[in-house]
Structure 1
């Protein structure tokens, strides 16, 4: 269930940043969104997240950009993480080739919806099953490996878990939406 609070429980850092926070945020290579500015309150946390987290998967992933965004968007929608959903939809939906019907399905539809091909469906079925059971059946694993490969399937599991953690964070922190973004299901 999406949160309606407009006030963050922990205020993100604002420029000018101290030397440690500034160095951690510089690892991103782009202006930091609120979530990263909250993490930068503890620069060692921000550095470790920037060094592992989504940056590994966005730069070296065995998943395609589209597959990665299906995993992230569906996971954040299932977790009711408006902030993270909005950031990803605004930044990547067009690049990943996601249309309005697909975004609506990611928000509150099912993998069996008619807007998905067999590859997308296998990815979404894996995400939904991981969310519901914290595991993948042999059939779901086999379907996923058939449309991707074992490396991509492993990354899907890790990204899904990572974005559960991110979803927990943005919800518990009550981060308001970034300017110009829209919550789950409001496209």
Structure 2
């Protein structure tokens, strides 16, 4: 369904920031548009930053590649150009994702030849979770075999979190950040 307006619905904060908003932005990371919207509500931003600091930490059971597979596929399935663009520009190279794999994440599927068995298990779970809000026993078992039980839990949590982020950036109508692009091929 086409969007009616591309104008942001809530304007991101612009500098100079008050002390409370600046402190929230310090916790969130670089002052990209989404973070500057959240910083309008510093208490909300601090709560979000707490989750982000966990899943980006060394305590995460997911590898950087696994995390980015979940995020990139989820944002592509949701048509969240803003979040896709930020993650692809920032993390795709670090996660070892090549152009063919990015194209598959955008418009292909887990059965594409560019994926190994572990990547395929992650992507199959993401696709199924997106479509059904659940995982069949076989999908769950395949994911546990591929990444382990702790990482399987995090796949579900990160996938759900990035559905929420995708819904948020779409509803906010945030413009792409400089140097980023939309989901290739669109959805």
Same fold (TM over 0.5): yes
Output the aligned Cα RMSD: 1.6
The two structures have a TM-score, normalised by structure 1, of 0.95
- Determine the structure 2 residue equivalent to 1:127: 126
Task: Determine if the alignment matches structure 1 residue 20 to structure 2 residue 8.
Answer: no
Change (3 A) 1:2 1:170: farther
- Determine the structure 1 residue equivalent to 2:53: 55
- Determine the structure 2 residue equivalent to 1:36: 35
Change (3 A) 1:18 1:89: same
- Determine the structure 1 residue equivalent to 2:110: 111
Task: Identify unmatched segments of 5+ residues in structure 1.
Answer: none
Task: Identify unmatched segments of 5+ residues in structure 2.
Answer: none
1:5-41 per-position Cα deviation (integer Å, ceiling 9, x unaligned): 542110000111011111111113x421100100010
CA contact (8 A) 1:69 1:96 kept: yes
CA contact (8 A) 1:5 1:176 kept: no
Shift of 1:163: 0.2
What secondary structure, in the 3-state scheme, does the structure 1 residue paired with 2:157 have? helix
- Report the Cα distance in structure 2 between the residues aligned to 1:114 and 1:2, rounded to whole angstroms: 32
CA contact (8 A) 1:35 1:170 kept: yes
Shift of 1:73: 0.1
- Determine the structure 2 residue equivalent to 1:7: 7
Change (3 A) 1:84 1:2: farther
- Determine the structure 2 residue equivalent to 1:75: 74
What secondary structure, in the 3-state scheme, does the structure 1 residue paired with 2:56 have? helix
Number of matched pairs: 185
